[in-house]
Amino acid sequence: MNNTHTNKSFDKINLDWKLIQSELKLKLGIEVYESWIKKIDLYEEFNNYILLTVPTRFIRDWITSRYLDQILQTIRKHKKQIIRIEFKILEKKDNKSGKFNEFNQTNKTEKVSFIKDSHLQYSRIDPNKRFENFLTGSSNKIAFEASLKVSENISYYNPLYIYGGVGLGKTHLLNSIGYEMSKNKKVMFISAERFMYQFVKSIKSNDMVKFKEYFRNTDVLLIDDIQFMNGKEAMQEEFFHTFNALLDKESQIIVSADRPPNKLSRIQERIKSRFSGGLVVDIQKPEYDLRRKIIDHKINELTSLYSDKVNVTDEIQDFISNKITTNVRELVGAINRIVSFSRIYNKLPSLSETKIILKDLLNLTENNVTIDSIQTIVCKFFKISKNEMLSSRRSRYLVRPRQTAIYLTKILTTKSLPEIGREFSNRDHTTIIHSVKTIEKLKEKNPDMNDNINKLKNIILYNKEG
Ligand code: ADP
Ligand code: MG
């Protein structure tokens, strides 16, 4: 159809890119459209993939990590054969807007004031990460509330220092604060790595005055992942002074890190003590209830984008919330994969498919769940011996525990049916399927059974009784 910019491949273009873009606008919202989708052009269309162009690598990475799946789905509505998207970076000649002019070595000679551009560089606030979609539970409530207060009431806690393991929501919280406060304040959101990079760059280009002015001119300074700050004395010196200058003029400072201030290596004592002087809060690993909440919310969020809602079964939700326990990012990633799978294949993955899709995420906890430990725990629970469990006797008091152990092996390990059969005295894989199905049915009908299974799961996964 009509496509203005690629005469060379004119004959190959059948997709109406403008139409696809407007569908994406509806799907993803105007903000996402304006910031990202609008910047994509269709370059060339092949049999089963298409080549899109974006003006910078940054935009490409951003789009790839967040919207690729939705873009592909939308394209596939028009052309089912497309299974893949590729990007080409096509810099626009006119740099008038200069907005996404990245820190790019090739730009060195241009007379681009980094002050002007850098505001956009630093304030890469993701409008999708706000307080409203940050779910809370006992593990993150304190950090959440402190962040909310800071965003409502300048200099209440100053600095605010948020720490916690990877993927637990620190950047999300910083981003939420930045998003809120940028409505009426000058906000700068930067990672410690970028801060260092910019510092070094400014020294080289004799721009230190601007650098200082720029950082000292902000109302709100958010620094992400401060543990990566490992620069030379001169840089820490500068950081310390910036920090003090900002506190003096009552600008709000928010810092995140993967550890508490006193555990930061390579950072000057006086900076650490400045950090400790404000409010220090931590985010813990998400507890079971929060994991369920996040899964539930994420499924709704993802499926609300499409007319056909994906009904991820309780069993799969249960499985994910029991298996992915240490990291919200992986939890969200797991849901993304399940939902993508359902949309691509037009069906929900089975439990064993789920295990395959999530294999790399599951391996973390997989190792300590062995068939042997499951058998031992189930035997103890039902007060039978392991010989009895593995025997061929079919007395009722042995059959249920045996089936329970088989079922638990199926859902808690990535073992295949034949492998499980082998570990249960060479039973046939059809016996294994039968056991799994029997327990699934009983679990639904019989609350006691369900209760027992949950207790056993807890013991197996967390060594926790009751
Ligand atoms: P960190 O910076 O601590 O490594 P992020 O803030 O990048 O972690 O969070 C990882 C992912 O998990 C992000 O997609 C984020 O939106 C999501 N996330 C983390 N915590 C929550 C939460 N409490 N509610 C909703 N999403 C969350
Ligand atoms: Mg982060």
Does the beta carbon of 168 lie inside 6 Å of ligand 1? yes
Does the beta carbon of 169 lie inside 6 Å of ligand 1? yes
**Confidence bin at 14 (pLDDT 50/70/90):** confident
Pick the range with the lowest mean pLDDT from 30-39, 389-398, 433-442: 30-39
**Confidence bin at 123 (pLDDT 50/70/90):** low
Q: Is 346 left (phi over 0), alpha (psi -120 to 50) or beta?
A: left
The answer, yes or no, to whether residue 400 has pLDDT greater than 80, is: yes
The residue whose C-alpha atom lies closest to atom 1 belonging to ligand 1 is 167
The answer, yes or no, to whether residue 8 has pLDDT greater than 60, is: no
The alpha carbon of residue 175 and the mean position of all alpha carbons in its chain are separated, in whole angstroms, by 14
- What pLDDT is stored for residue 192 in this prediction? 87
- What pLDDT is stored for residue 57 in this prediction? 76
Nearest atom in ligand 1 to the alpha carbon of residue 174 is: 6
- What pLDDT is stored for residue 110 in this prediction? 27
Cα dist from 209 to 36, 202, 212, 307, 431, whole Å: 33, 9, 5, 54, 76
Does the beta carbon of 327 lie inside 6 Å of ligand 1? no
Instruction: Give the C-alpha separation, 390 to 68, whole Å.
Output: 49
Segments in 205-326 forming alpha helices (H): 208-216, 233-248, 269-276, 288-303, 314-323
CA of 284 to the centre of ligand 1 (A): 12
CA of 284 to the centre of ligand 2 (A): 14
pLDDT: which is higher, 459 or 405? 405
Instruction: Give the C-alpha separation, 293 to 297, whole Å.
Output: 6
The residues near 77 (Cβ < 8 Å, ≥ 6 apart) are 23
Does the beta carbon of 27 lie inside 6 Å of ligand 1? no
CA of 375 to the centre of ligand 2 (A): 40
CA of 171 to the centre of ligand 2 (A): 4
DSSP state of 219: S
Nearest atom in ligand 1 to the alpha carbon of residue 136 is: 23
DSSP per residue over 315-347, as a string? HHHHHHHHH--S-HHHHHHHHHHHHHHHHHHTS
Q: What percent of the chain stands above pLDDT 70?
A: 86
- What pLDDT is stored for residue 119 in this prediction? 42
Which tokens hold the place of 181? 């406060």
- What pLDDT is stored for residue 143 in this prediction? 97
Nearest atom in ligand 1 to the alpha carbon of residue 328 is: 12
Q: Give the closest ligand to the alpha carbon of residue 298.
A: 1
Q: Which of 67, 140, 172 is the pocket-test mutation for ligand 1 (most atoms within 8 Å of CB)?
A: 172
Nearest atom in ligand 1 to the alpha carbon of residue 290 is: 23
Q: Which of 173, 324, 332, 337 is the pocket-test mutation for ligand 1 (most atoms within 8 Å of CB)?
A: 332
